[in-house]
């Protein structure tokens, strides 16, 4: 089975090397592709120097467009499984195996690495958890799927899902919306426990006033996505 | 509607149509995006030429003055056009995104193939 790790990266010069070192030395069975979304720091230089596999977006697209490029790459190169993983050190490669296992066993089409099953490791702030719980409730209400960690960017999907995401992927703050898209296309989602680290470099893209915008935008997007008809192939 | 207001509005509408046709002739506007503007202009012209329509509308909408009805109609048309422009921008945005992604994929292919040649 061909497995691809998609690593969206925007200004990750502090953490990307450590992650790629680890992938190269301990997980050579997985391919990876870093999507450099017009970083303004040394990310691109680091990628070039170590001759890493990367896509270099000529224009900044944001996380959604970046990740989607990864899915397009997976689609064009015939990958069976695509794993999405942040380049900022929050997601540990140790869990890659757990995250793809349900797909290999054909128990799920999409797997989400969740912080909130065992409640271990980095749990985010109370305010953020409140927001995540709200969105999780909304997803449950609209699709009947119980997903606890709706904003987790540590996910694995199978070929069917790759095809859908390559065509249709939300552009900003895409994680919760992608769940709805997965659900309305009749795909099976499950969560597996992972322990996340507090980021080792960079800073979160969502804070202060943006979090209000985030909540409103994502809630709306989830509701609209629910009422969008299933894509015909 | 006073005759002075009528003339002012007619002149304004004439300028409006001249602008549109000038830009169309210069190919700085695409006709399919301009249809809404032309349609809006015809509507405005109609209202100015036959204010009786407005009197009729006034009776049933609760708008007090004729002039207000004209302004309301214009603002309504503008809002519709703005929405259509937002939709055009969104479409362009999504087209552009696809191009950028394709570009990045090709660039990666080229790098990979170059690597193989060396």
> pLDDT band for position A231 (50/70/90)?
low
Instruction: With CB atoms and an 8 Å threshold, state whether A68 touches B104.
Output: no
The domain ranges of chain B are 3-117
B85/chain A closest Cα distance in angstroms: 20
C-alpha closest to that of A15 among A83, A93, A82:
A93
B117/chain A closest Cα distance in angstroms: 15
Rounded to the nearest 5 degrees, what angle is found at the Cα of A35, between the Cα atoms of B99 and A88? 145
C-alpha closest to that of A109 among A185, A176, A33:
A185
Tell me the sheet residues that pair with B54: none
Residue B81 contacts by C-beta under 8 Å, 6 or more apart in sequence? B36, B37, B40
Instruction: With CB atoms and an 8 Å threshold, state whether B105 touches A57.
Output: no
φ, ψ for residue B29, nearest 5 deg: -130, 145
Instruction: With CB atoms and an 8 Å threshold, state whether A65 touches B108.
Output: no
Q: What is the pLDDT of residues A74-127, one digit of tens each?
A: 999 999 999 999 988 889 999 999 999 999 999 999 999 998 888 888 777 788
Q: What is the DSSP letter of A196?
A: B
Instruction: With CB atoms and an 8 Å threshold, state whether A56 touches B101.
Output: no
C-alpha closest to that of B47 among B9, B78, B93, B3:
B9
Tell me the sheet residues that pair with A36: A9, A56
C-alpha to C-alpha distances, A97 to A67, A155, A223, nearest whole angstrom: 21, 12, 33
Please list every residue in chain A whose beta carbon sits closer than 8 Å to the beta carbon of residue B107.
55-56, 58
Residue B62 Rama label (left phi>0; alpha psi -120 to 50; beta): left
Q: What is the DSSP letter of A52?
A: -
A 88-127: CB under 8 A from B: none
SS3 category, B29: coil
Average pLDDT value for residue range B27-52: 85
Neighbour-count burial for A175-209, b at 16+ CB within 10 Å, e otherwise: bbbbbbbbbbbebbbbbbbbbbeebeebeeeeeee
Q: What is the DSSP letter of A94?
A: G
Q: What is the pLDDT of residues A36-55, one digit of tens each?
A: 999 999 999 999 999 999 99
What is the topology classification, in CATH, of domain A3-227? Spore Coat Polysaccharide Biosynthesis Protein SpsA; Chain A (3.90.550)
The residue among A61, A71, A221 with the most chain B CBs within 10 A of its CB, best to mutate, is: A61
Q: What is the pLDDT of residues B62-105, one digit of tens each?
A: 877 777 877 887 888 889 989 999 999 999 999 999 999 999 99
For residue B82, what pLDDT is reported? 93
Q: Which residue of B has its CA nearest to A76?
A: B105
C-alpha to C-alpha distances, A83 to A61, A150, A230, A231, nearest whole angstrom: 20, 16, 24, 23
Inter-residue contact A147 to A136 (CB < 8 Å): yes
User: Does the beta carbon of A79 lie under 8 angstroms from any beta carbon of chain B?
Assistant: no
Name the helix (H) or strand (E) containing A232.
Answer: none
The count of other CB atoms within 10 Å of the CB of residue B66 is 17
Average pLDDT score, chain A: 89
pLDDT for residue A204 is more than 80: no
């Amino acid at each position: 089975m061909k497995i691809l790790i998609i690593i969206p990266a925007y200004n990750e010069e502090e953490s990307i090397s450590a992650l790629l070192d680890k992938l190269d030395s301990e997980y050579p069975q997985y391919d990876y592709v870093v999507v450099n979304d017009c970083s303004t720091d040394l990310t691109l230089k680091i990628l070039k120097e170590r001759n890493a596999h990367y896509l270099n977006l000529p224009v900044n697209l944001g996380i959604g467009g970046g990740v989607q490029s990864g899915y397009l790459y997976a689609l064009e190169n015939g990958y069976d499984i695509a794993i999405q993983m942040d380049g900022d050190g929050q997601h540990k490669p140790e869990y890659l195996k757990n995250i793809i296992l349900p797909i290999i066993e054909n128990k799920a089409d999409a797997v989400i690495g969740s912080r909130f099953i065992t409640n271990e490791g980095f749990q985010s702030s109370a305010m953020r958890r409140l927001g995540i719980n709200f969105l999780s409730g909304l997803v449950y209400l609209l699709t009947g799927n119980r997903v606890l960690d709706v904003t987790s960017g540590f996910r694995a999907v199978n070929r069917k899902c790759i095809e859908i995401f390559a065509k249709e992927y939300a552009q900003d703050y895409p994680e919760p919306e992608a769940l709805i898209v997965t659900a309305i296309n009749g795909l099976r989602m499950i969560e597996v426990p992972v322990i996340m680290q507090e980021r080792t470099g960079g800073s979160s893209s969502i804070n202060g006033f943006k979090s209000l915008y985030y909540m409103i935008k994502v809630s709306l997007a989830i509701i609209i996505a629910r009422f969008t008809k299933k894509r015909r192939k | 509607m006073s005759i002075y207001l009528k003339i002012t509005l007619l002149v304004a509408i004439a300028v409006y149509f001249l602008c549109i046709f000038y830009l169309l002739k210069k190919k700085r506007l695409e006709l399919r995006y301009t249809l809404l503007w032309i349609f809006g202009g015809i509507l405005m012209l109609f209202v100015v030429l036959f204010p009786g329509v407005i009197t009729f509308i006034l009776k049933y909408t609760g708008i007090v003055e004729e002039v207000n009805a004209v302004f309301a109609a214009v603002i309504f048309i503008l809002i519709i056009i703005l929405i259509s422009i937002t939709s055009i921008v969104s479409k362009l945005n999504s087209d552009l995104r696809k191009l950028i992604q394709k570009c990045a994929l090709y660039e990666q292919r080229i790098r990979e193939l170059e690597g193989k040649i060396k």
